[in-house]
Amino acid sequence: FRLHESPEEEPHILLECDSGVLDAIQKHLKLYKIRRKVNIAPCLDLSLWAVVPGERAGDIANSLAKCADQALILTPDPRTEVMGWRLITKKGANPLEIIPGSCIGNVQDYHRHRYKQGIPEGVKDLPPGVALPLESNLAYMNGISFTKGCYIGQELTARTHHVGVIRKRLLPVHFSAPLPKDSIPEGAEILTESGKSAGKFRAGGGELGIALLRLANVNEPLYLNIAGDKVKLTANIPEWWPKPASK
């Protein structure tokens, strides 16, 4: 999106969102427009690229300086260093010219990378009205402020954060066999060996995925029921998470 108050100055904010909720977000933002002269519209003239690690930051900065007319924005991904950079270009610009030595992957490569790191994104990983900010690790990804407000659920989120009791979190999971496409219902239950519920599957592809799991069950053998078959999975704590303070 581009939001600007006047065509002359055009101060703007770019908002990245899941394309599946584009209309819903526009309607939501317009509720709060009130009497301000603010234009809210999709930026159909721009392209968004994820630049995943493999290039050194210095090389990217030098490349950007040489092709500044093609790259509108090249900035570190605000969520975590392991997600690299976000590149915004004019429609039709070639990212290989902006970042020499890079290669263009496909969207599945990108999703595999973020599943491996346990990074949620979009409404499948973060279902509206279901996903809680702290359980979704948003406090680890610059997604929550505890010094300003207000927002719906602020008191509960702040209280939970300061008490420090979070029993479930989104975690990267690895399956013993590649997942069948489009045959896993949303929120499918993940079970322990004894059949006790350990959490819910959110999304995945191939042998990788992301799931909301009880931290107490992370080191146990876990299973997902797929069409009557038990598929084993393992979960892990991502390396990029903040390390607990030593006592």
Element holding 59 (H helix, E strand): helix 57-66
Q: How confident is residue 74, by pLDDT bands cut at 50, 70 and 90?
A: confident
Return phi, psi of residue 197, to 5°. Answer: -65, 130
- In this structure, the answer to whether residues 153 and 101 fall within a common structural domain is no
pLDDT above 60: residue 9: no
pLDDT at 126: 94
Of 105, 125, 148, the one marking the end of a domain is 105
pLDDT at 48 over 80: yes
Q: Within a domain: residue 6?
A: no
Tens digits of per-residue pLDDT, 114-172? Answer: 999 999 999 999 999 899 889 999 999 998 888 776 777 777 777 787 777 889 999 99
- Do 56 and 96 fall within a single domain? yes
Asked if residue 140 and residue 101 are part of one domain, the reply reads no
Give the SS3 label for residue 114.
helix
Q: With contact defined as beta carbons under 8 Å apart, do 233 and 220 qualify?
A: no
Residue 7 placed within a domain? no
Q: Is the model's pLDDT at 197 over the cut of 70?
A: yes
Token readout for 126 is 């973060």
**What average pLDDT does this structure show over 16-32?**
92
- Quick one: CA torsion of 121, 125, 211, 205, rounded to 10 degrees? -80
Report pLDDT for 222. 96
24 and 100 housed in the same domain = yes
- For residue 245, pLDDT over 70 is answered with no
The overall average pLDDT reported for the chain is 85
**115 part of a folded domain:** no
pLDDT in tens, 207-243: 999 999 999 999 999 999 887 788 999 999 999 999 8
When pLDDT is cut at 50, 70 and 90, the band that residue 32 belongs to is: confident
- The two tokens of residue 143 are 């997604």
Q: What CATH number did the domain enclosing 191 receive?
A: 2.40.30.160
pLDDT value of residue 129: 87
pLDDT of residue 211: 96
Say what the pTM is.
0.84
Answer yes or no: do 143 and 224 share one domain: yes
Rounded mean pLDDT, 49-53: 88
Q: Which domain holds residue 228?
A: 134-235
Q: Which of these three, 105, 125, 147, is where a domain ends?
A: 105
pLDDT above 70 for 64 = no
Model confidence band, residue 93 (pLDDT cutoffs 50, 70, 90): confident
Domain boundary among 85, 105, 125: 105
- The number of domains in the chain is 2
228 and 138 in a single domain? The answer is: yes
